[in-house]
Structure 1
Amino acid sequence: MTQTPPAHAGRHAARNTERHAVRYTDAQLQSLMEALYQRYSYDFRDYALPSQRRRLNHALERFQCDSLDALQQAVLDDAVAFGQLLQILTVPVTQMFRDPGFFLALRQQIVPVLKTYPSPRIWVAGCCTGEEALSLAIVLHEEGVLERSLIYATDINPQALEKAATGVYSILRMQQAGSDYLAAGGTGRLEDYYTVEHATVRFDARLLEQINYADHSLATDSVFAETQLVCCRNVLIYFNKTLQDRALGLFHESLCHRGFLGLGSREVPHFSSVADDFEALPETKKLYRKRARKYASGVRHDT
């Protein structure tokens, strides 16, 4: 006969796990990040410490290491092991039409302005496995502007970029995506844009042709193009204030006069060095516009 464990057994187990958890200081964590930067040129030194701790705790368990020193030795000696660690440190989590209200506002307020440009350019920073870039491509297609647009989708995770370029995803994720697509103002059916292949779906090549996937680090790289819209959603929350400020500075530099910036639900440009250069669009979810230039004479203010 199976006995049910007492109610307090779970609490004892949790305390026991905590007692045997690997303990390390912030200085040791930063030392590991410095070593990774020096060895592989991936810069996680200004990522938020609470997020880094969660990811490293998972990595220590995955690699079965009893110290950060052991983990460091394992990944510095083996590039394949570092590639596995990179998947943990970057936490690739995304979905199509995430926060559909954002895409609805983008469709209604941003796309009409993008249509006025002969060749709109959009930068999706931290694109992960490509779902957000594809969502943008679908919106632009339905609004008749995709064919003359170019979407730059960048990330530091090479495996995520490889997956994004295939346009292939699990069919299990499409049911929620279909509902979010409609809530985002979709004019047809999401299944019109993909074909089913066993347990996966493959998105239309016409969408992928307008997306340029490339490696780019917000921590170390510079601006590569002038854009009319930058979307960086649910990425800045993993950065500390220094790196947030650097990333927002890159977006400001990339955006053309009166360009647009889209952020995640818990992200704002406030308190950054470019905070005064952005204004929130009314009645939108995390959409901002670069303010008009101010001229020394005080006479001319572009709109």
Structure 2
Amino acid sequence: MDFDRLQCANDSKEALEKLEINLLLQGIFHWYGHDFRNYSYQSIRRRVWHRVHAEKLSTILELLDVVLHDADCLQRLIADFSINVTEMFRDPSFFWHFRKQVIPLLKTYPSIRIWHAGCSTGEEVYSMAILLHEEGIYDRTKIYATDMNAKVLKTAKNGVFPIEHMKKYTKNYFEAGGTVSLSDYYTVSNNGVKFHPSLSKNIVFAQHNLVTDRSFNEFHVILCRNVLIYFNRSLQNKVHNLFYESLGLFGILGLGDKETIYYTEKKDCYEEIVHTQKLYRKTK
């Protein structure tokens, strides 16, 4: 009986916590227009409690009250919701297969448009610029790098990264099929390493929210890697519809290693390019 009462109390506590989180997300949506209601619940829950403690508050409802009256606190919470884990040539085999399987297709186009959706601080964007440069097609490529977080976009646009990361990035670069030395592409300063301006000349950095914003161009390639895992199934389908609308016929969609086109409404509109990689081609 005591166990049953304890279990009932725990269930009630979890239900109340979920209600408070839903109220917070509804309040943000209705007051500010930012929609996080279909993000993965467990992911949102961790970030909400992080912000509660960071603001020296005790409850989620206290956080809601502060957020509704303090736009700066809202921005801090949005930054918490923004996922900014990335590195140059992350998952090197993805970039190796992109070089071997996708680049030959892109070389047939007179001009190329690539969308990096959820680009975070930009390491993978510069990785793609380097790859395209080495394959001789960067000059006819425009890369659109977008994220909902203005702060990380500023970092991406500056193109300055910590020097202590370069050993790992160099290893990734060679495993991804790099042909020279990664250090050829950057200079070292007191602030870290800065990638050469020639790499960013064809990159457009801009804010875009996958949840609320629409398609803004037609692309030959869309890369959105390790972003959709933080969305629930309904929101994943919504974003996949956005990508479908934004890809030209035979366009390439690249996802993260824990993501897939299968189990989405658009699964029958793509074919695998490489069985071991999350690279798909739009076929209808």
User: Helix, strand or coil for the counterpart of 2:67?
Assistant: helix
Structure-1 residue corresponding to 2:178: 186
Match of 2:50 among 51, 55, 58: 58
| Number of residue pairs matched by the alignment | 272
In the alignment, is residue 234 of structure 1 matched against residue 214 of structure 2?
Answer: no
Correspondences of 1:109-128 after superposition (within 5 Å): 109-128=101-120
Q: Which has the higher helix share?
A: 2
Partner residue of 1:288? Answer: 280
TM-score by length of 2: 0.92
d(CA) in 2 for partners of 1:106, 1:218: 24
TM-fit CA distance, 1:235: 0.2
For residues 39 and 92 of structure 1, the distance between their equivalents in structure 2, rounded to whole angstroms, comes to: 25
Range that drifts further, 86-95 or 164-173: 86-95
Where structure 1 has 5 or more consecutive residues not aligned to the other structure, the ranges are 1-18, 294-303
Give the residue type in structure 2 aligned to 1:187.
T
Letter in 1 for 2:65: Q
**Contact 2:160 2:191 survives alignment (8 Å):** no
SS across alignment from 1:86: helix
TM-score w.r.t. the length of structure 1 is 0.87
Task: Please list the CA deviations of residues 231-263 of structure 1 after superposition, one character each: whole Å capped at 9, or x if unmatched.
Answer: 000000000001100111111111111111100
Aligned to 2:160: 168
SS of the aligned residue for 1:192 comes to helix
Confirm or deny: 8 A CA contact 2:116 2:144 kept in the other structure: yes
Structure 2 equivalent of residue 45 of structure 1: 37
The percentage of aligned residue pairs carrying the same residue is: 43
- Encode CA deviations 1:11-65: one digit per residue, 9 max, x unaligned: xxxxxxxx9xx96422221111111122322211110101111111211111111
Q: Which residue in the other structure is 2:242 paired with?
A: 250
- Residue 209 of structure 1 deviates from its aligned partner by 1.2
RMSD of aligned residue pairs (Cα, Å): 1.4
Deviation at 1:90, TM superposition (A): 0.9
State whether residues 112 and 140 of structure 2, in contact with CA within 8 Å, keep that contact through their aligned partners in structure 1.
yes
1:115 offset after TM fit, Å? Answer: 1.1
SS of residue paired to 2:221:
strand
Partner of 2:141: 149
Q: How far did 1:182 drift?
A: 0.4
Structure with larger Rg = 1
Indicate yes or no: 2:190 matched with 1:205.
no
- Work out the CA distance in 1 between the residues paired with 2:39 and 2:261: 17
Does the alignment pair 1:89 with 2:81?
yes
- 1:199 deviates by 4.3
Q: Deviations over 1:75-117 (max 9, x none)?
A: 2211222121122111311111100000000011101111111
Task: From 269, 273, 293, give the equivalent of 2:265.
Answer: 273
Q: Is it true that 1:217 corresponds to 2:209 in the alignment?
A: yes
